[in-house]
Amino acid sequence: MNSFWENKQIVITGGAGFLGQHLQKCLQVHGVSKEQLCIPHIENYDLTKEADCLRMYEDMRPDIVIHLAAEVGGIGANQENPGRYFYANMAMGLHLIEQARIRGLEKFVQVGTICAYPKFTPVPFKEEDLWSGYPEETNAPYGIAKKALLVMLQAYRQQYGLNGIYLLPVNLYGPGDNFNPASSHVIPALIKKCVDAIDAGQDFIECWGSGSASREFIYAADAAEGIVLATEQYDGDEPVNIGAGFEITIKDLVEKIATLTGFKGKIRWDASKPDGQPRRCLDVSRAKAYFGFEAKTDFDTGLKATIEWYRRDTNKQL
């Protein structure tokens, strides 16, 4: 074990979720025992409520909090829940960080969002570009709420000495992802469309937008490794991108997933639906320089593993 983790209690908010499960596994690889990990489940702790945050700290007595929990979804979910997503994400961070200050927490790790970047950020996105414009409109309330927590952590560091760091992971994918069509992101949504179309014998799938927008994706296990390395080694106030450093258009992504799933039908584009942010691709040099992180999983390899996981999981439910 890295001595950093010895005799420390670690709370992972959202630890039962997609990224949280990968983070738990990664921490155990780094020598953290299951007994050191505390996961506040939503059934017991509604972290949007101050009283529940206070009770979580009292019950779990953490030395480190890694705050992954978020209310989030794809473009459609963001359009339907702008107020809820702003409130829930702002409230969780606000209460958790304030209690961290009050209790003299050793370290607070805030996992932010790529949606915090301005709509027309030059590619590749550099951390210093965070404040150069307004986020893409469909996810701006969510992105701004998360970005406000960066300001809070920097202010609390300046005034109170709270050691809080802020990480900006790009779009995640991998086994265990959310495949609910009402709230899933683009990769699980496309995998589900292709696999379901094959199973149902359908000869086409429908996709939102024009296909011209680009995105970057990082395998969830790689993102977890980046979070662990940052927690161990980084104590600065600057935000840090966590990504893979490449981009792919949505059109090319759909075609790739269709090929990997074996879907041979037509792809129909609904141009009346929004594309979202025009391009997304991160400058990942700061993470490498500050704590030696580089993503390792080849995109096709990661997609195949995700497709295989979804097919296994679907078969279990049948």
Catalytic positions, written as ranges = 142
Minimal CA–CA distance to 3: which of 25, 31, 24, 33?
31
Burial 190-200 (b: 16+ CB within 10 A, else e): bbbbbbbbbee
Amino acid at residue number 306: T
Whole-number Å distance between alpha carbons of 225 and 29: 10
Residue 134 DSSP one-character state: P
Minimal CA–CA distance to 13: which of 198, 149, 160?
149
Minimal CA–CA distance to 212: which of 266, 249, 186, 175?
249
- Phi first, then psi: what are they for 301, rounded to 5°? -60, -45
Query: Quick one: CA torsion of 167, 282, 18, 136, rounded to 10 degrees?
Result: 90
C-alpha count within 13 angstroms, C-beta hemisphere, residue 126: 5
Record the tokens describing residue 205, joined without a space. Answer: 């799938």
Q: Give the residue ranges of DSSP H helices in 214-263.
A: 220-233, 250-261
Q: 3-class SS at 65?
A: strand
